[in-house]
Structure 1
Amino acid sequence: MKMHQLRALAEIVKAGSIQRAARAMNLSQPALSKSVRELERQLGVPLLVRGATGATLTPFGAILSKRYEVMQKELDKAREEIDWLKGTLGGRLLVGMSPPAAGAGMASVFASFRQRQPSVELELLELRPAQIFDAVRSGVIDLGIVHHYGATDVAGLQCVTLKSYQTVLAIGGHDPALPQCIEQLWDREWITSDLADHADGYISVLASRLGIDPPSRLFRCTSIAVYFELAEQPQLVSHWADNISPYLDMKFASGALTRLNLGIDLPAMDITLVYKDDELLSPGGALLTKIIRSAFDL
């Protein structure tokens, strides 16, 4: 199996046909077809379905194409590391963050990194936790900083808990008939930033801890700005992490939110650094990881 054969397969998929891929690569169509057929013979399986309208991947070809993309990303990173050592290029560093993680003092971390490595092209992307795990695993992004509740055990990834925050429950407005027990609390409508398929979301972890099903009325809102506004709606139950204590104290004092104290053991919100492996980090990724660990006394 050779890289030029894998590239031929990838170019055919990208172009949609062998003919168009051959033109894009400045090769003859027979030469390109030969590369793919040699690869198919080596593996003993068909990789392409060839038709009058073009060529598509078989399930075998899809697996190979996916792995080739990962290999290509790793090769690109290797080139960046070599250029870094040569001093000819700063490189590029992609970091995924889930919104609540931004409140953990990450701005000063990134400012410190940019001051020490101004030539590195640093990009911060706002993503959901599940998206960050997938993107780090596939090599699309270098590092992830995610929020989660409960234990996190993600196969194939390094997960370093940076900080934990206690959480609180609140209800919108001033309600003289505050819930006095779990049943009354569960009868209310809740607002959450968790998606329905987020098994490690706040509501799921809390319900599991209490040994009951999640509330039947859930208002899901992934926009943090909108969540902050909607949470003030009367009788709507919301959950918060105390990394925004000044904001919550102001809202509690004004009556926009009312804190709920039912003696429930609430899940903590953990902020976690996620990456593939220390050996696979680029020089920029290794430096940023070091700065992050130092900022959190790790």
Structure 2
Amino acid sequence: MFEGIFTSLITPFNEENKVDLERLNNLLFYLNDKVHGFFILGTYGSTALLCEDEKKEIIKHVLKNSSNKKVIVHAGESNPDTSVKLAQFAQSQGANAVAFVPPYFYGYSEEEIILYFQKILREITIPVFVYLNPPRVGYNLSVQCIHQLAEIGIYGIKDTTNNLNYFYDLSTNVDLEKFNYLSGSEMYLNPTMFHGGKGAISAMSNVFPEYVVNVYDSLKNRNMESYKESMKYLFAYRKIRKVGQGIPVVHAMLNLKGIDVGYPRFPFKYDEGLVNKVSELIKCLRTNQID
């Protein structure tokens, strides 16, 4: 099973808008002894802004420098053949699992989605996750479809629906002791872990891994006082995420912490004004004792 906190790793870029592997090392060094694993080339990894060669470069680098942490590689593309080829590359480099958003742009039927994942399972031998992300893909999959995917051999799910009713329906229709459920946000660890969830793929853990992991550990150990203390900090710092698009704000928070992760990729706006705004909000939160 894939259990714990998997950081949805951001991708650093340099001043020339190129992937910056040295700065990626800064982030990996910061996180390696703090989280349970990594989810790469997801939304926060700027997957839609990367070409195939850049994705392969990142896959190789993370797998080489992740201190034997479990790594899930997102390989979903609108073209099934492109998805499979990237997943096969990740598998050849030692990835522990691969994940796929359902093919996007066109509104596929669930019968077509089943055929898509059957093709993947014929070509890939490591665990395969379905990555539900309706805002990015344009549609969701029914609980009945997820049940069918589990029946044909899909290993688990990254659920970014942010819909607890959907999760509860899923938990009563799919055996979560066998089907690996990971929430797409640390905010849903409490309700999901108590009903079979195994952890979360967390963007906030790029910046505050200690709080996110403590939330997971506290829930696992039924220590609700410790859980509430860490959630107090996470609730406060998540307010900062609302000052702009999530990826540039995460870059700003990390850079302000002294973890040099450079820049988000153009056309994301990242300038002194954003950094100053984030810095001021952090100071205000600390002055008010994170309340």
> TM-score band, normalised by the shorter chain?
under 0.3
- Report the TM-score when normalising by structure 2: 0.26
Whichever structure has more strand as a proportion of its residues is: 1
